[in-house]
Amino acid sequence: MWSFFARDPAKDFGYEIGELVLGLEDKSIWQLHKGKKKGGDQDVSVFVFEARAGSESLLDTAKASVKRLKTLRHPNVLQYVDSLETEKVVYLVTEYVEPLVTHLEVQKKDEEKRLGASWGLYQVTKGLGFLTGDCGLSHNNICASAVFVNRAGEWKIGGVEYMCPVTESPPRKSLPALDVYTPPELRDSSASHRRQGPKWARDSWGLGCLMWEVFNGPLLKASSIESSGKIPKALTPAFNQLSNSNPSSRPSPADVLTRCRSTGGFFKNSFVDTMLFIEEIQIKDSTEKNRFFSGLTSVMDNFPSNVCKYKILPQLINAFEFGDAGSAVLTPLFKIGKQLDAEEYKKRIVPCVVKLFSSKDRATRARLLQQVDQFVDYLGNDVLNQEVFPHVVQGFSDTNPTIREQTVKAIVHLAPKLSYNNLNEEVMKHFARLQARDDQGGIRTNTTVCLGKIASHLHPQVRQKVLIVAFTRAMRDPFHPSRMAAILALSATQGYFTLKDCATKVLPALCALTMDPEKTVRDHAFRAIKGFLGKLEKVSEDPSLAEQMEADVNAASSSVPSSLAASWAGWAVTSLTSKFYRSKPTTGSPVPPSATGSGDVQTQQSSNAASPTTEGPASHDRRTSEDASVDSGSGNDDKWDDQDDWGDMEEETKGDSAKSGTSPKEPASSAQGGWDDGGWESFEEEPTSPAEPPSRVSPSESKPPPDSKPASSYNWGITRDSEEDFFSSATRPGATKQPLKPTSADTTRSPTTENAWENDEWDNWGASKVLTGKGD
């Protein structure tokens, strides 16, 4: 019974006390331990004082320190969380921190250490200004052992055991190791010297000692402070004034801040400027925020990583969720995300990414699609297919060509994680429409390139029905880079075609291109023909090779080497830049409604501007081939944050259609809502796509415009050494295959999809999904 009332209250302490943290030793009455809240995952720091015989006065000092810290609330003062006091022990729980001495030891880069010190000393100086100026308190113990650093790299003032009002004499320090920090005027025992100087004099001396220790290590004797040592030149004037033996000559903390923040001062640098802006970000307007976030990426390289992860990143997330920073936060957000481990990335970045995909702002969506490779590995399959993909797929039908192009490119990175229905049905439906009806030749070409790159992820039955039909259609595209991409795609995916298809479908289509007006197209056609003929010839000589050459036709994964798959063809037009699509259309040359609004195409030739003829996809490409040279040279350095208005995806398109006009060959309704009514084969009847391959033309008719680049200038990613490698793997006896694990959707394929590819036609990808196949 009595044992119940005599129970030690420390056992009911709500925090687990972990391992001891080094760094305080003989300069503090406390022992610092790592801690964690019981029943939660909140990390804390626990300062422990255990009373021993003859240390009753220290117990009172520890309790007074807890009481003092509990009443101090300031961003630059150590944050009190909880405490427990008994007759034998005192527990002080604060935010999670580490001693400054330990923090400085682990910093290896000089520039990172210098920037971190400039911000840390700024915070300590500001905190001292609060204590001496606003609170009328003198700390009396400013040194490296009294400063702590949290995860965000913020320096906090602790060690308040000897704090007292500025009007009182400081208490005597109980630890001999702290005597080295005593100001000269206090070393004289006479009372007449104890109150000399202004109220901040004692703490200003301590601030000078702290500066010395930050750059020179522990202060072992008082005389060492007479030399500045390794203190930076920009900080030396302030240090010399703070360490002046005459207390009346020492500047106040406010004066130190003013002088060091002036031009050339130690506190005047990009890191401190960034931190100060973040602290005041709530009162900044949208223009200032956008300018700040746009320039943040370029200055973050030398910032301490812990500051980026725990100080800047939360502000970026808050700016996106609760502010109006827009797409400007994406680049620094993803750059900092590279410093996170997988679990942290999924917890902190992925929720923002998912929310960003639902944004209607085109600039935001464009940047997300451009950088999808940076975060796709962290997206779970369920999150990608159920929450992200429904928003991504909207980009295929966007009126802005840049969004359509970036959406096509993003599929290369998303394909490995997409479900059967999303990849083999939804994506293929949109690819069929883009390849046949998109008015931008670059987008049609990149659709062919993407289809070749994701072929290994398609279901084998879908693959057999789609690839040849899609690639042979691209061979009849009036945009010659599209025809070239089709040849390269056929060569790269040759392992997925039966020998019969090679002989009866692929080779006839390739032979037609031997008469192509473009020499580069003819060269690639001849090279591909030789490869396919060599493959058939080997089977003719040794029929037993047929089974080996067709081994990949029904395989669930690609046997094409990853290096070859990555280099067989680059994006035909690397980027459809904002300058290319944002210019206003000329009055005499209307374009299809899909290229209106913020995605208007720039007409560069005056003859086109004067022509009254309405251009469809075929006629449009005669000038797109010229514009592509401007496009391909732009790279990915798009200025998304310039003053051009991207517009919103929810804007009405009626006004744009009225301005641009619609093609009589393709009604406006089909350009918007009826694009899914037809597939690959049904588009062959369109008059804008010639039924026969382009014929040879006279030199005068085929003369390129003066500003255009030859087709060889496109980055197709082909090297002479690897051009024949498309077929070498077909007969390689040691070729290994990596089977792709089927998803649950693969085992439950719908009969609708089974019949959608009858007769090698894509025209059954209609929205109605009412398909009636006849069977093979």
pLDDT at 553: 81
Residue 115's H or E segment, with its range, is: helix 110-129
Residue 287 banded pLDDT, cuts 50, 70, 90: confident
Given a cut of 80, whether residue 742 has pLDDT beyond it is: no
pLDDT at 324: 67
Given a cut of 90, whether residue 510 has pLDDT beyond it is: yes
Please, are residues 150 and 156 in contact by the beta-carbon 8 Å criterion?
yes
Tell me the mean pLDDT in the region 15-27.
90
Tell me the mean pLDDT in the region 96-100.
95
Domain ranges of the chain: 7-99, 100-267, 269-379, 418-576+611-776
- Looking at per-residue confidence, does 583 or 734 come out higher? 734
Tell me the mean pLDDT in the region 477-492.
94
pLDDT at 322: 76
pLDDT at 571: 52
Mean pLDDT highest for which of 321-330, 430-439, 584-593, 665-674?
430-439
Share of the chain above pLDDT 90, in %: 45
What is the amino acid identity at position 223? S
Residue 186 banded pLDDT, cuts 50, 70, 90: confident
Cβ-based neighbours of 161, under 8 Å, separated by 6 or more: 28, 29, 61, 62, 64, 65, 141
Find the range with the poorest average confidence among 140-149, 387-396, 548-557: 548-557
- Distance between CA atoms of residues 566 and 563, nearest Å: 5
What is the DSSP code string of 611-631? Answer: --SPP-HHHHHHHHHHHHHHH
Q: For 134-149, write each residue's pLDDT tens digit.
A: 899 999 999 999 999 9
Tell me the mean pLDDT in the region 589-612.
34
Residue 667's H or E segment, with its range, is: none
Please, are residues 96 and 151 in contact by the beta-carbon 8 Å criterion?
yes
Residue 331 banded pLDDT, cuts 50, 70, 90: confident
- Looking at per-residue confidence, does 663 or 314 come out higher? 314
- Distance between CA atoms of residues 584 and 571, nearest Å: 26
CATH code for the part of the protein at 100-267:
1.10.510.10
Which ranges constitute the DSSP H helices of 554-602?
562-567, 578-582
Given a cut of 50, whether residue 564 has pLDDT beyond it is: no
Given a cut of 70, whether residue 402 has pLDDT beyond it is: yes
Given a cut of 70, whether residue 351 has pLDDT beyond it is: yes
- Distance between CA atoms of residues 275 and 310, nearest Å: 12
Tell me the mean pLDDT in the region 87-103.
93
Given a cut of 60, whether residue 54 has pLDDT beyond it is: yes
Tell me the mean pLDDT in the region 373-394.
92
CATH class of 7-99: alpha beta
Find the range with the poorest average confidence among 3-17, 123-137, 541-555: 3-17
Residue 586 banded pLDDT, cuts 50, 70, 90: very low
Find the range with the poorest average confidence among 342-356, 416-430, 705-719: 705-719
Given a cut of 60, whether residue 34 has pLDDT beyond it is: yes
The 3-state DSSP class for residue 287 equals helix
Which ranges constitute the DSSP H helices of 542-675?
545-549, 562-567, 578-582, 606-610, 617-632, 654-660, 668-672
- Angle between helical axes of 350-357 and 313-322 (0-180°, round to 10): 30
- Looking at per-residue confidence, does 632 or 569 come out higher? 569
- Looking at per-residue confidence, does 324 or 706 come out higher? 324
The overall average pLDDT reported for the chain is: 75
- Distance between CA atoms of residues 69 and 45, nearest Å: 14
- Looking at per-residue confidence, does 453 or 752 come out higher? 453
